[in-house]
Amino acid sequence: MDSHYNKLNRKLDALQSKNKDKNRNRTKERQIPHHFYTRSVNLTKIKFSKEETGLLNQGLQHSMEKPLDKYWTDLIMETEQAIRLLDTKMQDPYRIMATNKLKQIRAAENHHNIIAKRQIFHLKNIREKLDKENAMITKADKGKTRVVIYTKDYSAKVHEFLSSNNFQTLKRNPTNKYQAHITETLPINTRHISQKPYQ
């Protein structure tokens, strides 16, 4: 019996020491600083305000909030449609809950409206600055960084990339030729492709 307990104690000690080693490794990993890409890089001499930079940092797919008046009617109609799909006994309680929620949204409209108006104002300023300086916003090669760059510099980089990688300009687009060849080949190749779509 004692040998059995000794064996279990040795196993337990081994597991505990293994767990301590794992925890030590985790703390070492935590101490290594992570490198994050910057959200936006400005390669131009254009000066952006703090709010404009914040808007640029939101990303190219950032969806700005619309004023409530633009989607209010749709919101009410879609809510009513969803309620009508419920059991008739449940519709009235859900209508009351939806009405209360819609009232809350309407009450909070003023705050959201101010945010939306400020974002639209800053976006307009960014566009004006880009147009005035003949610049553009594009995505960086790596990461999700946005790059503000002059249009002529961007074109030069694209041409440099194409010429340095030995791309050749074709005289005509070969897509139609390849599509015709595929269309001719598909009905002939009965071994690998089913003929049902072509009959």
Tens-digit pLDDT string for the chain (199 aa): 567 777 777 877 887 877 776 666 666 555 666 666 778 888 999 999 999 888 888 877 777 767 777 778 888 899 999 999 988 888 899 999 999 988 888 877 766 677 778 888 888 999 999 999 999 988 887 777 888 999 999 999 988 888 888 888 888 898 998 999 888 877 776 666 666 655 5
Are 146 and 53 in contact by the 8 Å Cβ rule? The answer is no
| Per-residue confidence (pLDDT) for residue 102, from 0 to 100 | 87
Residue with the two structure tokens 């005035």 = 132
Tokens encoding 163: 């010429």
Residue type at 174 in one-letter notation: P
Phi/psi at 139 (5° precision): -90, 140
| Per-residue confidence (pLDDT) for residue 26, from 0 to 100 | 64
d(CA 86, CA 45): 58
Tokens encoding 14: 């081994």
